[in-house]
Structure 1
Amino acid sequence: MMRRRTILRAGTAAIAAPVASVALTTGAAQAAPVRIQGVDLSSVPKGEARGAVFRYANGTAGDPVRILQEGGANYVRLKVWVNSPDGYHGKPQILAMARRAQALGMRTLIDFHYSDSWADPGQQTKPAAWQNLSSGALEQAVYNHTYDILDGLRAQGTPAAMAQIGNEINGGMLWPDGRYTNWPQLGRLLTAGVRAARAASPGIQIALHLAEGGNNAGTVWWFDNALAQGVSFDVIALSFYGYWHGTLDDLQFNLNDVSARYGKDVLVAETAYPFRTDSKDSHPQIITAREPVAGLPAIPEGQLQWMRSITTVVSRVPNNRGLGVFYWEPAWTAVPGNGWDPYDPNSGNAWENQALFDYDNRALPAATWR
């Protein structure tokens, strides 16, 4: 997640029955239970190295992983970059964070970007070291990289519970080889990652992740093509930000439809909501609207209600197919040196108003939204 551009393609007619309108959860209502209550903590190692401090709501300093785990989180999501320019999001950080998570009884989801930096619908740049590889060699590189990370986790006794083969791959990955316009090659690249994950970590769940939470036609088009190429997977993972990806009704319909259509569990792999509109540092925020979603102000209570509402949507997917929700980067606070651009150590943070820690570093109410 950083830049967003949804790739839309026509899909076949939806098969799910119409869903009742989803109202925003308000007042003291609690979120319905789901199996995965996750937090993406990819920024934590670099933040801590740059001096980030995290506090409980009462002001007591603490470990951000523990603070969120005590609030109900049971999964940690961690992104992997191949050769990151800032030296983070690689194997050493993944192994260390997995140990921290397991020590607190949490499981891990490993999010492979197959890039040296951000991969999302607007950019899927091949790692510099892979730029001139032939198609077959690129598939082998995907296999080797995936295997190396997951085998390392297994070898240290912290095997990943789930792996994403690509991040927000609406338009494919490893452009130009794996663009959505070349499904045979994209299918081979995805299959290389899937094969490596299952070989390195038997029993792991495989997720394929799109930024299409509210777009049923686009989701169906994509997964129809993936299945036509013989790509094997277990979980349909979708990003859903209410200010980008449609309404909660759209999300409910899409989750219900694709879980029934393909017989797969579904997961909201990314979501977030602002608790204020201004910046703590000098870098402008991505979301600054007073009501990013109509009727839901950008205040701590609005953030809390968003998380309760989206979790309730996932809990309503028929046949217990709704796995859960991950909050994206709840601990990415504004700390000098931990900005959005890994190539520029002076870049700022565009996300601190959507963290689950306020500008005094205290846990917000949504840190215990479950």
Structure 2
Amino acid sequence: MRRIFAALLLCAAVLTAGQPAHAGTGPDHDGLPIRGADVSSLAKSEAFGGIYRSSNGKRGDALAILHSAGLNYVRLKVWVNPVDGYNSKTQVLRLAKRAKALGMGLLVDFHYSDSWADPGKQNKPAAWSALPFDALKKALHDHTYDVLNALKRQGTKADMVQIGNELNGGLLWPDGNWENWPNLAALLNAGYDAAKAVSRSTKVVLHLADGADNGLYRWWFDTAATYGVRYDVIGLSYYSYWHGTLEAFQANLNDVASRYGKPVVLVETAYPFTAADDDGLENIITSTEPYPGYPATPEGQAAMMRAVTEVVRSVPGGRGLGVFYWEATWTGVPGNGWDPADPSSGNGWENQALFGFDDRLLPTVKGFLRR
């Protein structure tokens, strides 16, 4: 009983710390506490002429449009020294200021790389590549502290922070590989300590992919507990066309929330609103019905978001904190490609954004809200 009560107190603390100033405004007050979008692509999109419109066609600021539609949080990834300068500390500070001015909450997603980090690659930043382990741990700590402290000093403190991105196999390979848990734990705890040194109220998230794989989550978080890894919230990626059924996702969420006594948050999800292409690069998802019963249409995308959101809402004990839609603003703007080292690259994701090929906000945002 004591453990359950403590978990509920922690969940309340997470919600209080991460509650945007205007969280009660918008078209629906009964939505999940966190109704968010990853908008890491936005700064680069705007620099290359990206345009965003409300559902009625009026041109405006993408963040303001999303917020007016009911979203109350943003997620921003940060790379260490990206070649093109985007998703850097500088860009994160600028976008954070815009989001906080709207009263939105902020989740900072540290990749600890100069480019993408995910289950298939966790490459060290070039500047850290030759560091011995103790110096590597210090570099992770100092980088985390530097970015979060800069955010705090400009008045845009992070409400939540991910120490690493999709950590199935660890981070900063090979030193923090999953086969070396003592090192992995030390690195994760260094990030936790840095975040808490900036602000005790910032909640630390540990994030895995494959959100319907209960065996993975039990193995990973059981092992993390064995090595004394500290964190506040469990983060998951769940893409229904890759990661299994909605029922398996629900079962995993319910289990890990209960087993570890932590709130859970879906930090990545998405679904296509069309199978068509808008930038000349073949899309990652091309099926006209990627998940049975949910066609690749605006209506299908919205229905999938309602289903996913209801899964998170249904986690017992109110431990389901919310949902972030991944790369909501990554539209088919020439120059805003996936590869920071290749200006000609496309993104393969524009058919899964929250803005259509006509630049208008899609009805999908309503999927975040209770009806």
TM-score by length of 1: 0.91
In structure 2, what residue type is equivalent to 1:98? Answer: A
Deviation readout 1:158-183 (Å, 9 max, x if unpaired): 10000000000100000111110110
Paired residue for 2:191?
193
* Count of residue correspondences: 341
State the secondary structure of the residue aligned to 2:289.
coil
In structure 1, what residue type is equivalent to 2:303? Answer: Q
State the secondary structure of the residue aligned to 1:147.
helix
In structure 2, what residue type is equivalent to 1:340? Answer: W
Paired residue for 1:360?
358
Residue 137 (1) aligns with residue 135 (2): yes
Paired residue for 1:73?
71
In structure 2, what residue type is equivalent to 1:289? Answer: S
State the secondary structure of the residue aligned to 1:37.
strand
Paired residue for 1:312?
310
The match for 1:277 among 275, 278, 288 is 275
CA distance in 2, matches of 1:214, 1:165: 21
Paired residue for 1:286?
284
Paired residue for 1:38?
36
**Structure 1 position 31, deviation (Å):** 11
Percent identity reads: 57
Query: Retained in 2: the 8 A contact 1:31–1:308?
Result: no
State the secondary structure of the residue aligned to 1:117.
coil
CA distance in 1, matches of 2:298, 2:153: 41
Paired residue for 1:332?
330
State the secondary structure of the residue aligned to 1:326.
strand
Query: Retained in 2: the 8 A contact 1:68–1:368?
Result: no
The match for 2:259 among 255, 258, 261 is 261
Deviation readout 1:63-111 (Å, 9 max, x if unpaired): 0001111111111000000000111111111111111111111010000
Within-5 A mapping of 1:9-28: none
In structure 2, what residue type is equivalent to 1:351? Answer: W
CA distance in 2, matches of 1:196, 1:309: 36
CA distance in 1, matches of 2:29, 2:278: 29
In structure 2, what residue type is equivalent to 1:84? Answer: P
In structure 1, what residue type is equivalent to 2:290? Answer: P
Q: Please identify which structure carries the higher helix content.
A: 2
CA distance in 2, matches of 1:212, 1:68: 27
Residue 244 (1) aligns with residue 242 (2): yes
In structure 2, what residue type is equivalent to 1:80? Answer: V
In structure 1, what residue type is equivalent to 2:83? Answer: P
Paired residue for 1:155?
153
Deviation readout 1:31-56 (Å, 9 max, x if unpaired): 97311001001000010001000001
Paired residue for 1:27?
none
Within-5 A mapping of 1:83-122: 83-122=81-120
CA distance in 1, matches of 2:235, 2:57: 35
**Unmatched segments (≥5 aa) in structure 1:** 1-29
CA distance in 1, matches of 2:29, 2:168: 29
Residue 235 (1) aligns with residue 233 (2): yes
In structure 2, what residue type is equivalent to 1:155? Answer: R
Paired residue for 1:206?
204
**Structure 1 position 308, deviation (Å):** 0.6
CA distance in 1, matches of 2:310, 2:213: 19
CA distance in 1, matches of 2:347, 2:57: 23
CA distance in 1, matches of 2:346, 2:112: 24
Cα RMSD after superposing both structures? 1.1
Query: Retained in 2: the 8 A contact 1:114–1:127?
Result: yes
Query: Retained in 2: the 8 A contact 1:83–1:90?
Result: yes
In structure 2, what residue type is equivalent to 1:35? Answer: P
Over 3 Å counting, the alpha-carbon distance change for 1:31 and 1:105 in structure 2 is: closer
**Structure 1 position 367, deviation (Å):** 2.7
In structure 1, what residue type is equivalent to 2:252? Answer: N
TM-score by length of 2: 0.91
CA distance in 2, matches of 1:336, 1:86: 15
**Structure 1 position 368, deviation (Å):** 3.2
**Unmatched segments (≥5 aa) in structure 2:** 1-27
